[in-house]
Amino acid sequence: MKILSIETSCDETSAAVIEGSRGYVRILSSIVSSQIDIHKKYGGVVPEVAARNHILNIIPVVDEALRESEYSPGQNGRQVLPHRIKGRKREVGEALMEAERDKKSPLVPLYKRGKSLLDLIAVTGGPGLMSSLLIGAETAETLAYAWKKPLMAVNHIEGHIYANWLEPISKFKVSAKGGFASGEQSSKACLARPPYRREFAKGFKIKFPILALVVSGGHTQLVLMRDHLKYKTIGQTRDDAAGEAFDKVAKILGLGYPGGPVISKMAALNPPACAGRSPFMKGGKEIGLPRPMIESSDFDFSFSGLKTAVLYLARDMEKIVAEARFREEIVPAICKEFQQAVIDVLVKKTIKAAKKYKVRSVLLAGGVAANRELRLQMGEAVKTELEDKAVFNVPDLKLCTDNAAMIGAAAYYRYKEKPQTAKMPPVGIKVEANWLI
């Protein structure tokens, strides 16, 4: 079956076409229009700005995802459809169906592609920013009504976990495209495009029970899976998520937004011989940061105190070190120590839970899973601590951050196990900003 999936939970507008068969999934197309450059000047995502740009980008992104999934000759040029469609869901749906009769309508290509190509439409129903979620949900409901296709809402966290079932985009032909209208500047779209008639990766199989560490800007939790769709959250953050802590620490150090990539880059500048510790002395001791809750008996996390420790450390060091040296030497050292503190806690809690529940697979998911040090150290820990009792898997870097391909993968397995969760229009879907997995 072929699934059109839509993701608009935060500031990425994404659409993908996924094909599922005999328990395996592959990506036919994946388009992501990012708003990072727009939100940088605000130091974080502004919900109203994000929603406004989703409205501008959603139809062109969906159209491109459908076009790229077809590989039709003579369609190399990009046709950006009018994307400011006004009116209610039923009125837009009728406009799309009218396109079948009006051969001059700019909606004709979109209508024909979706009607003939797809078996199911899936969309992120939460958690996320309510204003952003509604844009994706209304678009999905409109298309389902026009094409008479079943519609399914997918949990965003579930999507991150199921990104592990997708083939790496790094194996595909990847190109970058821009041009979608998005406020003051163009959005950037990343196209994942596999070779024509690519075979499914039938040799790949994740074994249950599974322990998934989902770590992103809004979530940090350990999820136990006994089978597909059977989730139990055994640990989660009590305050800041790990990704949120990265953003806040980057702001404290004056490094900008988003914090994850820039802190990782700065941490790499610190001499490897320091092993995560700064070579600079304060009161006769090495600069160090706490590992919050690392020895607690549960599997919960807390990163708010770590963020505060960085604030006090940076403030104290600025008083005793020249500004140039602080920027060139101290900041990279603090970044490396902070990053290592987060990784130490995440790895130890994950391995501890994996041993207790005797899992056969350990999965890493979410935006922070793109951190190379976390990927490396978690993989090494699984190998040495769990030996041959469990395998480790992490999605391709491009599949860690928000994307619609992961929503499509989750939708395939959800439809396979519980087809009744897909509804035929005009039945809509419920959007929940705090939807728990």
Cis peptide bond upstream of 194, omega within 30 = no
Report percent pLDDT > 70 for the chain: 77
Question: Does 210 or 218 have the greater pLDDT score?
Answer: 210
CA dist list (Å): 322 to 277, 290, 370: 20, 25, 34
CB 48 within 8 A of CB 7: no
Determine the 3-state secondary structure of 2 from DSSP.
Answer: strand
pLDDT number for residue 100: 56
pLDDT band at 321 (very low <50, low <70, confident <90, very high): confident
Same domain, 174 and 200: yes
Here the tokens at position 17 are: 């076409």
Q: Are residues 137 and 222 in the same domain?
A: no
Lowest-confidence region among 33-47, 126-140, 240-254, 312-326: 312-326
Pick from 75-79, 244-248, 266-270, 357-361: least confident? 75-79
Q: How many beta carbons lie within 10 A of that of residue 5, not counting itself?
A: 31
Asked if residue 50 and residue 170 are part of one domain, the reply reads yes
Nearest one of 199, 230, 337, 367 to 274, comparing CA atoms:
337
State the maximum Cα–Cα separation within the chain, in Å, rounded to a whole number. Answer: 80
Has residue 193 been placed in a domain?
A: yes
DSSP readout, 29-48? EEEEEE-HHHHGGGTS--HH
Q: Say if residues 152 and 206 touch (Cβ distance below 8 Å).
A: no
Average pLDDT of the residues of the chain? 83
CATH of residue 335 = 3.30.420.40
In a domain, 108, yes or no: yes
Looking at 41-55, 82-96, 418-432, which range is the least confident one? 82-96
* Spatial separation of the C-alpha atoms in residues 382 and 168, rounded to whole Å: 21
- Does the annotation place 216 within a ligand binding site? yes
User: Is 416 found in the same domain as 373?
Assistant: no
What is the total count of domains within the chain? 2
Q: Are strands 210-215 and 361-365 parallel, antiparallel or unpaired?
A: parallel
Q: Based on the domain organization, do 178 and 271 belong to the same domain?
A: no
Residues 199 and 73 in one domain: yes
Query: Are 120 and 383 in contact, with CB atoms under 8 Å apart?
Result: no
Q: Does residue 433 form part of some domain?
A: no
430 within a domain of the structure (yes/no): no
d(CA 251, CA 259): 7
- Which pLDDT band holds residue 92 (cuts at 50, 70, 90)? low
Is 396 labelled as part of a ligand binding site?
Answer: no
Structural domain includes residue 297: yes
Does 217 carry a binding-site annotation? yes
* 131 labeled part of a ligand binding site: no
Residues 62, 144: one domain?
yes
Overall average pLDDT of the 224-228 stretch: 97
Q: How many CB atoms lie under 10 A from the CB of residue 128?
A: 26
The pLDDT score that the predictor gives to residue 281 is 45
Q: What is the extent of the structural domain holding 29? A: 2-204+401-421
| Residues 50 and 178 placed together within one structural domain of the fold | yes
Residue 349 in this model has a pLDDT that exceeds 80: yes
Question: Is 214 annotated for ligand binding?
Answer: yes
* Gap between the Cα atoms of 210 and 231, Å rounded: 10
Asked if residue 34 belongs to a domain, the reply is: yes
Q: Is 239 annotated as a binding residue?
A: no
Residue 305, domain member (yes or no): yes
43-52, 186-195, 300-309: range with lowest mean pLDDT? 186-195
Provide the 3-class DSSP secondary structure of residue 12: strand
Q: Same domain, yes or no, for 183 and 222?
A: no
* Structure confidence at residue 205 as a pLDDT band (50, 70, 90): confident
Structure confidence at residue 329 as a pLDDT band (50, 70, 90) = confident
Same domain? 231 vs 323: yes
Structure confidence by residue, pLDDT tens digits, 280-316: 544 444 678 999 999 999 999 999 999 999 999 999 8
Q: What is the pLDDT of residues 113-126, one digit of tens each?
A: 666 789 999 999 99
247 is in an annotated binding site: yes
Give the CA radius of gyration of the chain.
Answer: 23
Residue with tokens 């899973």: 369
Task: Give which of 44, 124, 14, 195 is closest to 430, Cα–Cα.
Answer: 124
Is residue 266 within 8 Å of residue 335, measured between CB atoms?
Answer: yes
How high is the pLDDT of residue 89? 47
156 is in an annotated binding site: yes
Q: How confident is the model at residue 276 (pLDDT cuts 50, 70, 90)?
A: very low
**Is 427 a member of any domain?**
no
Give the residue with greater pLDDT, 55 vs 110.
55
Closest listed residue to residue 214, CA positions, set 6, 362, 95: 362
The verdict on 191 and 134 lying in the same domain is yes
The yes-or-no verdict on residue 174 having pLDDT over 50 is: no
Is 371 marked as a binding-site residue?
yes
Q: Identify whether residues 195 and 241 lie together within a single domain.
A: no
